[in-house]
Amino acid sequence: MVSPLLILCFSLPLLLFFFFQSRRTFKKPPLPPSGPIGLPIIGNLHQLDSSALYLQLWQLSKKYGPLFSLQLGLRPAIVVSSPKLAKEVLKDHDLECCGRPKLLSHQKLSYKGLEIAFSTYGDIWREIKKICVVHVLSSRRVPMFSSIRQFEVKQMIKKISEHASSSKVTNLNEVVMSLTSTIICRIAFGRSYEDEGTERSRFHGMLNECQAMWGTFFFSDYIPFLGWIDKLRGLHARLERIFKESDKLYQEVIDEHMDPNRKIPEYEDIVDVLLRLKKQGSLSIDLTNDHIKAVLMNMLVAATDTTAATTVWAMTALLKNPRVMKKVQEEIRTLGGKKDFLDEDDIQKFPYFKAVIKETLRLYLPAPLLVQRETNEACIIDGYEIPAKTIIYVNAWAIHRDPKAWKDPEEFSPERFLDITIDLRGKDFELIPFGAGRRICPGMHMAIASLDLIVANLLNSFDWELPERMREEDIDTEMLPGITQHKKNPLYVLAKCRI
Ligand code: HEM
């Protein structure tokens, strides 16, 4: 008979072996490497500058690596700064990483996330996004609005021609903002504010205030028990005022659409569609006027600023690089058949021009940190455990300047795109100006169509000079704080009519 002691002696080493093996197998992965050491409670908040966060996080990534963690008050955050890790977050772990943090200013101005950009991932996001994509933003629908884009771009060219014939300097920021807001207002809700002086400034004032609020740090978001400081700073009152003003404007738009005497429009805009679906009650969510208002906010803010900012950056980059300006104008004017006005089909024949747009979106992307994400559940990124409810910054600014991905990354050189097939639609993670994955910008097709048409016609119709006593190196590339990066100082230029 085998004694129990003997069995124990033989089995003990085996048991110990399996015990340590299983510990090694099921050992919890480590947390990501830490960034700078913070203070108790506030963490790293005192070290961060919200007006140029992407630049600061870029510098920190050079010290702490392409993945590091921060503590934003009581909220954990990670910063991702390489194409490989962007792919892990935006593609491989898209489902776990496609949340948005609930921040006070986002929540307030989005009617508590009843829209696409700031809503958490779920039914509301899915339904509203589907409606906007199907009716306005898909690659099939975008060409249907080309007559609006062309009309409005022609109006802008006319306005600049008047400046040119009286040798008046043009403030390109102003002209382009006014154009992009008119285009989106006409497409999204069949209305142009540009004819009405006070309406126009009211509308632009509202957009600027929204931007300012989204660029402002609120204690309530990161250390809720210090939220009273936001009240003392007058931020709650300011937020409430902007909310009331914009709510009034959106209500007017809804009322106009419900007016029985309204002229039947040529096509249904997004408000018509949402009102019809609301009446039919055929959606999985109970659509209310607040949803419609939140969608209006989304369309206006996401489309106006980004497209205008990118146009100004493209012209800034070209004015700073006369060699590229000359080459792209030659291409447009030769291949464009000397037409007075280029349409969207003409532009598809200009490879160098297309490369200029890509290079602009590489170096001067209007959303350098995309839009913050948040993990819906814990996941493993690059072998590190990222807990649920962690804020994620994907620093596209840093990725677009990664020397491992780009030769001479700081140089504005559209030629780099002539020999490679890197695309900017979220498949190649070294170039992600529109983000990637589930939350990729749904307005991408519309944005590219507008950008192409505006920039190509600015280059076709005019030769561009700097105002007196200004040299190329005097043109600054400073950015304004906010969710969209605008050029801080307006771009003043002298247009000379070519035609
Ligand atoms: C040059 C122009 C534009 C750029 C560079 C841009 C960039 C972006 C980026 C980076 C995001 C965040 C993506 C992410 O989290 O991964 C985004 C989201 C979004 N964009 Fe754009 N955008 C542009 C134009 C537009 C236009 C014209 C519209 C609509 C008419 C639009 C509507 C939206 C919406 C609704 C979202 C939220 C998507 C979501 O959270 O699911 N954008 N955009």
Distance, CA 116 to ligand 1 centroid (Å)? 10
pLDDT band with cut points at 50, 70 and 90 for residue 207: confident
Distance, CA 138 to ligand 1 centroid (Å)? 13
441, 451, 452, 483: which to mutate for ligand 1, most atoms within 8 A of CB?
441
Average pLDDT over residues 95-118: 96
* pLDDT score of 196 more than 60: no
pLDDT tens digit string along 162-178? 999 999 999 999 999 98
Q: Which residue's structure tokens are 């040529």?
A: 266
Neighbours of 43 (CB within 10 A): 24
> Which of 25-34, 43-52, 323-332, 455-464 bottoms out in mean pLDDT, i.e. has the lowest?
25-34
Distance, CA 442 to ligand 1 centroid (Å)? 6
Question: What pLDDT score does 33 carry?
Answer: 97
Question: What pLDDT score does 50 carry?
Answer: 82
Q: Bigger pLDDT: 186 or 37?
A: 37
The verdict on the CB of residue 310 being under 6 Å from ligand 1 is yes
Q: In b/e form, how buried is each residue of 81-91, taking b as 16+ CB within 10 angstroms?
A: bbbbbbbbbbe
CA distances in angstroms from 255 to 215, 241, 259, 288, 292, listed in the order given = 31, 21, 6, 14, 12
Q: Specify whether the CB–CB gap between 134 and 269 falls below 8 A.
A: no
Distance, CA 436 to ligand 1 centroid (Å)? 10
pLDDT tens digit string along 336-369? 888 999 999 999 999 999 999 999 999 999 999 9
Which atom of ligand 1 has the smallest separation from the CA of 432? 10
* pLDDT score of 6 more than 80: no
Protein residue whose Cα sits closest to atom 32 of ligand 1: 443
d(CA 131, CA 128): 5
Q: Specify whether the CB–CB gap between 372 and 96 falls below 8 A.
A: no
Distance, CA 489 to ligand 1 centroid (Å)? 24
Q: Specify whether the CB–CB gap between 405 and 430 falls below 8 A.
A: yes
Q: Which of 337, 335, 338, 366 is nearest to 353 (CA)?
A: 335
In sequence order, what are the residues at sequence separation of 6 or more whose Cβ sits closer than 8 angstroms to the Cβ of residue 91?
Answer: 429, 436, 437
90, 434, 487: which to mutate for ligand 1, most atoms within 8 A of CB?
434
DSSP state of 29: P
DSSP state of 92: I
Question: What pLDDT score does 24 carry?
Answer: 53
* pLDDT score of 15 more than 70: no
Q: Specify whether the CB–CB gap between 449 and 146 falls below 8 A.
A: yes
pLDDT band with cut points at 50, 70 and 90 for residue 435: very high
Secondary structure of 402-426 in HEC code, one letter for each residue = CCCCCCCCCCCCHHHHCCCCCCCCC
pTM of the model: 0.92
Question: What pLDDT score does 198 carry?
Answer: 63
Protein residue whose Cα sits closest to atom 11 of ligand 1: 441
Question: What pLDDT score does 109 carry?
Answer: 95
Q: Which of 240, 481, 495 is nearest to 368 (CA)?
A: 481
d(CA 3, CA 13): 17
> Which of 52-56, 202-206, 219-223, 289-293 bottoms out in mean pLDDT, i.e. has the lowest?
202-206
pLDDT band with cut points at 50, 70 and 90 for residue 402: very high
The verdict on the CB of residue 206 being under 6 Å from ligand 1 is no
Architecture of the domain made up of 28-497:
Orthogonal Bundle (1.10)
Average pLDDT over residues 121-145: 90
Average pLDDT over residues 213-223: 92
* Radius of gyration, alpha carbons of the chain: 26
Q: Specify whether the CB–CB gap between 440 and 137 falls below 8 A.
A: no
Q: Specify whether the CB–CB gap between 210 and 118 falls below 8 A.
A: no
Residue 9 known to bind ligand = no
Which atom of ligand 1 has the smallest separation from the CA of 100? 40
> Which of 106-110, 125-129, 139-143 bottoms out in mean pLDDT, i.e. has the lowest?
139-143
pLDDT band with cut points at 50, 70 and 90 for residue 284: confident
> Which of 144-148, 315-319, 360-364, 376-380 bottoms out in mean pLDDT, i.e. has the lowest?
144-148
* pLDDT score of 11 more than 70: no
Q: Which of 57, 63, 62 is nearest to 44 (CA)?
A: 57
The verdict on the CB of residue 366 being under 6 Å from ligand 1 is yes
* pLDDT score of 237 more than 50: yes
Distance, CA 117 to ligand 1 centroid (Å)? 8
Dihedral sign from CA coordinates of 2, 6, 7, 10: negative
* pLDDT score of 113 more than 90: yes
The verdict on the CB of residue 302 being under 6 Å from ligand 1 is yes
d(CA 76, CA 58): 18
The segment with the largest mean pLDDT, out of 124-138, 226-240, 293-307, is 226-240
Average pLDDT over residues 97-111: 96
Neighbours of 205 (CB within 10 A): 12
Percent of the chain with pLDDT over 90: 69
pLDDT band with cut points at 50, 70 and 90 for residue 17: low
Question: What pLDDT score does 1 carry?
Answer: 46
Q: Which residue's structure tokens are 């809700």?
A: 189
Displacement of CA 324 from its chain's centroid (Å) = 26
Q: Where are the domains of the chain?
A: 28-497
Q: What average pLDDT is seen over the chain?
A: 90
